[in-house]
Amino acid sequence: MKKRVVITGAAGFIGSHLAETLLDRGYAVIGIDNLLTGDIANIAHLAGNPDFQFIKHDVTNYIYIDGPVDYVLHWASPASPIDYLELPIPTLKVGALGTHKALGLAKAKGARLVLASTSEVYGDPLEHPQRESYWGNVNPIGPRGVYDEAKRFAEAMTVAYHRYHGLDTKIVRIFNTYGPRMRVRDGRAVPAFISQALRNEDVTIFGDGSQTRSFTYITDLVDGIIRLMLSDVNDPVNIGNPREMTLKELAETIVSMTGSSSRLVYRPLPEDDPKVRQPDITRARTLLGWEPAVTVEEGLKITVEYFRTKI
């Protein structure tokens, strides 16, 4: 019998890449998504695979899966600022109720659960780079609080199931990730900058562009997630690229790479926007033998070519 993996949020950017890679590695995959922010086109190429099954379902409701389950990967959630500002209550519900239902499924099946958490649990950090031991600096009632606190609560519930029920759980704190299948109007920096540059429109930077991010290519992230899934590690693990760059540097790189005539324009910085973001990946390196293999320049070239087909 092939190992069976349930992925919530399977039609999303990361979820679809996880499904594809796990199928390639010999797993059977059951994908669940209510398509609120996911896109069925992301998994359309998997439809003919006998080891792939898709269920349209809202995971804030009870999740029923027939037969054995070995792993539950809980990836369902709006994940871009545009999404969670437009969908604040669904974001909170999937972080709380959805995580509860995913944990319940894992407990019922004796499965291992992997929670998609985020670097946003660190908020606008006062520690730099961010280690997993850092508790974060989050505004619970700010506009970003619905996402930050949903993920922080999801982590707390996941750890509670591990401690109280003895469930084997993993928590991956994902830093900015990019690659094919991101939406053109995603709202995050890479798709926004690329789509504007390809249209020769002004490239919009919020603030003065000095705020930093660390960008991980999707294949590196998926490799790190699967390594964590197969490990005996239960503490949270940062998976991200420790190379830090300013958003202005990213925008200039993309404009140059696309041969665009776009100019950079500046707009006010949104409330609670983090000033810095850089993972300390000591834990991933030592416990998982993981570090990113794809440079930002290599990853951006592939991503730009994908977006050329969408613009």
Catalytic residues: 147
Burial 95-115 (b: 16+ CB within 10 A, else e): bbebbbbbbbbbeebebbbbb
* Alpha carbons within 13 A on the beta-carbon side of 146: 19
Residues in CB range of 19: below 8 A, 6 or more apart: 7, 10, 29, 31, 43, 46, 52
- Angle between helix 13-24 and helix 218-229 axes, rounded to 10 deg: 60
Q: Closest Cα to residue 213, out of 255, 179, 174, 244?
A: 244
- 247 φ, ψ to 5°? -65, -30
Neighbour tally for 179: CB within 10 Å: 23
User: How many Å apart are CA 261 and CA 13, to the nearest integer?
Assistant: 29
